[in-house]
Structure 1
Amino acid sequence: MGNPSGDTIPSDATARGCVVSRFHSPATWIEGEAIRQLDEVAARPGMLAVAAFPDLHPGKYGPVGMAALADRLYPQLIGNDIGCGMSLFELDLPLRKLRIDKAAGQLRKLEEIELNDPAGQLEALGMPGDWHAGALGTIGGGNHFCELQAVEDAGGGEALDREHLHLLVHSGSRSLGASLFGDLISTQGSMPEGLELGTEPAVGYLLDHDAAVEWAGLNRLMIAERAAALLRADLRIIANVPHNLVRITDRGVVHYKGAAAVAEGQLAPVAGSRATLSHLVRAREGIANSLGGISHGAGRKYDRKAMHGRAGATRSEREALAGNPWGGVAICDDRNLLVEEAAGAYKDALKVVADLESFDLVDPVATLRPLVTYKSALADARERERGKTRDRATVRRLGHD
């Protein structure tokens, strides 16, 4: 089994060292900018330990695919999409009854179907019934999605029923998280030295943060409920794992940025792309060495700008991007997003899981193949045609990078 490589990076502000542990093999490609960002995080005041995972890639305020332990709060490491995560559901819809074209037609209306008592569900969580209720049950942009999946390999276990269809939902706190984060930045600035625990700004952030994490979990559930209603199915939850959050521990504050926060024995999805397999894993005892974090997906290999020179130059290429090897389809009427989220933009999720397994962080449980991936849909055919011929200003930038 692997042993994480450890480097000690001194921090002048604390007179202590920050141990950086990298939970990936030497053969795993990590972009140089992501390594630079990781080193910058490790050198921040009060930083005690950093864990880097094989999906590590550059982000806006720091690298994505890491966990960081500090003696203070660094809200910018989490960013605006507080509580973003992955939720996996089983449907009581048999695979044998699926017609992909019909299911795609049904799921195209995902964000049009009426929600099931959003005000009541918010109030049940102790939140105002109108608290960003209009954003509930919506995907967002960027790398967010709702995907209808089938079990490819159940691994001989009983965690997943290979005869039934599943839903994997990736979304977060939408306009709520953006609003809370924006308010914090407007009053506290860039917070280069973080927020000391116990201070008024830190206490206020943690209250907002915890509410946003719950709101994001409800959002994923309501997305799944919308999809299940369109498919005329019931659902049960298998895993709900956030990867953009902080947790207060007896050692300090653990910041999870694009790193799934798990406990030993917990099931967690590791997403592939819309044209590759996703994985279900079970966290092992080794997560005690990784600050309780693992990868949540394959991680980007090429940034969004770079993808426009690599894929989708012609209409036929873009049409090919909407399919996959299993006859699956992507619902994505945003031409730019279709290119930016192509399978080639991502690393190999199988290799990511293999790295995690080699460090005793996870046991592979099952793999799932993508059948219908919902990203974005315009209201009607005329709008969809216009969307193919112009560059649209989209809200996808609200999704975290």
Structure 2
Amino acid sequence: MGNPERDGAPAETAASIHEFYTASSWIEGAATEQLRQVANLPGVRQIAAFPDLHPGTFGPIGCAVLSERLYPQLIGNDIGCGMSLFALDLPRSKLRLDRAAQKLRVLESAWSGNAAGYLAEAGLPSDAFSEAIGSIGGGNHFCELQVIEEITDDAASGHDLAPQTLLLFVHSGSRGFGTHVFRSVVERFADGLEQGSTAANRYLDDHDRAVAWASLNRRIIALRAAVALRADIRTVVDSPHNVVERQGDLFLHRKGAAVATTPLVPLAGSRDSLSFLLKPTGCKPEALASLSHGSGRKYDRKSMLGRVGSTRSDRERLLRTSFGGRVICDDRQLLIEEAPDAYKNSAHVCDDLVSHGLATCVASLQPLITFKKATEPEGTESWKRQRKDHGRKWR
């Protein structure tokens, strides 16, 4: 399929789309249509689409796009969003779920630590959205206590991972920082930003700071959880999936696609399914050094409100998992929108990646406690402070 004709000129050939999924991955027609639209953007060379693919606001989620031009909308507002995995030194035999669940409620409040010091150490302005650092955010973000269920590849031993090791799995991003950066270019990216332009360079500088902020945010969230559990942590992997990077004269955009140049990549399931730890093979250049970041949505948020949680008993069941785990979520709507039924089967996504030769499964991870932050109601003092911060410049 070619690009539409412009000013009477013949249509160009659309960018190639490499699909790394099977019919079991439940790919919506709206997502594949968005792929075609992206393939026809000026300067787009190549696209890799993964089994967690689903429709997004400005383009499909679960893909990597190589282009001559820079397209901020292909990254979105949550710049640097990613998933970080940390190993705990707490023995599984000493964990008491109900007690641990109560301790993790510390994440409901704002962090009172040395935000300025941590930001400065990361090379960021000491007041850069400092009130939000250490916070999870809403939507599909979470902090989850997990246990390694099974080791399936020798690569785990090189990272000192074994069955029954406890892990903290943190999914969060750049919060108001990324939103501010995105809003600064949202009116100007219809045809992308030209390589070397002032607008592109400014966006990239701000993007890199938001990515660093997001990575620091995940680490502080994990530190807060570990302190509450009276444990020490070590980083297993930090894996961003909303980022753009320069590749020579081209830009590689990843939207909901994990960077696969690290030894290990986490693949998140729903709160009632296994997550997986993957080892990228790196043998398929057309995959653009990327992998799925999670199972991907099967149903959008609005449609979930009529599918589950219609009664009080249904909602109470959503606070427990089939593994005997706990879910901490005091936001009724969020509890329903993020119900396990909203997501694809994570094992199918993992199998598709393995069958296409993109990764090897290293370990399966079972959820024990999933913490999701209730959304701040509009009008609260915390909400007003965040809105005020959105208007400040961090350059």
Do these two structures clear the TM 0.5 threshold for a shared fold by scoring above it? yes
Q: What is the identity, as a one-letter code, of the residue corresponding to 1:36?
A: E
Q: Does 1:231 align with 2:229?
A: yes
User: Counterparts in 2 of 1:192-341, with a 5 A limit?
Assistant: 192-250=190-248, 252-263=250-261, 266-341=263-338
1:12 CA drift (Å): 5.1
> In structure 1, how many angstroms separate the alpha carbons of the residues matched to 2:217 and 2:282?
30
Deviation at 1:16, TM superposition (A): 4.5
Q: How far, CA to CA, are the matches of 2:375 and 2:191 in structure 1?
A: 43
Q: 1:114 to 1:171 in 2, by over 3 A?
A: closer
Match of 1:177 in 2: 178
CA positional deviation for 1:112: 2.9
Letter in 1 for 2:254: Y
Cα deviation for residue 376 of structure 1 reads 1.8
Instruction: State the secondary structure of the residue aligned to 1:134.
Output: coil
CA distance in 2, matches of 1:378, 1:299: 21
The residue number in structure 2 matching 1:398 is none
| Letter paired with 1:130 | D
| SS of match in other structure, 2:37 | helix
Amino acid at match of 2:225: A
Question: Could you report, residue by residue, the CA deviation over 1:327-381 in whole angstroms, capped at 9, with x for unpaired residues?
Answer: 11111000000000000000001010111111111000001111110102599xx
In structure 2, the CA distance between the partners of 1:11 and 1:66, relative to structure 1 (3 Å rule), is farther
- SS of 1:224's partner is helix
Cα distance in 2 for residues equivalent to 1:280 and 1:28: 19
TM-score by length of 2: 0.90
Query: How do 1:61-72 and structure 2 match up within 5 A?
Result: 61-72=58-69
Amino acid across the alignment from 1:253 = F
Preserved CA contact (<8 Å) 1:21 1:51: yes
Deviation at 1:288, TM superposition (A): 2.0
Match of 1:123 in 2: 120
2:102 is aligned to 105
Indicate if the aligned counterparts of 2:108 and 2:373 stay in contact, CA closer than 8 A. no
Q: Distance in 1 between matches of 2:108 and 2:336?
A: 22
On the 8 A contact 1:228/1:235 being kept in 2, the answer is: yes
Contact 2:111 2:135 in 1 (8 A): no
Name the CA distance, whole Å, in 1 between partners of 2:112 and 2:220.
Answer: 7
CA deviation after TM superposition for structure 1 residue 126, in Å: 1.9
Distance 1:377 1:304, change over 3 A: closer
* CA deviations over 1:135-177 (Å, ceiling 9, x no partner): 1110001100000001111125324232331000000000100
Superposition deviation, residue 125 in structure 1: 2.1
Specify whether residues 11 and 244 from structure 1 end up closer, same or farther in structure 2 by C-alpha distance, changes over 3 A only.
farther
Tell me, yes or no, if structure 1 residue 60 matches structure 2 residue 61: no
Distance in 1 between residues matched to 2:22 and 2:111, nearest whole Å: 47
Question: Which secondary structure does the structure 2 equivalent of 1:142 belong to?
Answer: coil
| Counterpart amino acid of residue 17 in structure 2 | V
Given the alignment of the two structures, is residue 134 of structure 1 paired with residue 131 of structure 2, yes or no?
yes
Q: For structure 1, which runs of at least 5 residues remain unmatched after alignment?
A: 1-7, 384-394, 396-401
Contact 1:91 1:236 in 2 (8 A): yes
Contact 2:75 2:242 in 1 (8 A): yes
Give the secondary-structure state (helix, strand or coil) at the position aligned to 2:106.
coil
Which stretch of the first structure deviates more once superposed, 214-223 or 22-31? Answer: 22-31
* Aligned-residue CA RMSD (Å): 1.9
Percent identity over paired residues? 49
Note closer, same or farther for the CA distance 1:70–1:313 as it changes in structure 2 (3 Å cut): same
Give how far 1:104 is off.
Answer: 0.3
User: Counterpart amino acid of 1:291?
Assistant: L
Using the TM superposition, give the Cα deviation of residue 9 of structure 1 relative to its aligned residue in structure 2, in angstroms.
4.5
CA distance in 1, matches of 2:218, 2:119: 13
1:4 equivalent in structure 2: none
Aligned length: 370
CA contact (8 A) 2:172 2:218 kept: yes
Inter-partner Cα distance in structure 2 for 1:378 and 1:295: 27
Q: Separation in 2 of the partners of 1:126 and 1:102?
A: 37
SS at match of 1:337: helix
* 1:18 equivalent in alignment to 2:15: yes
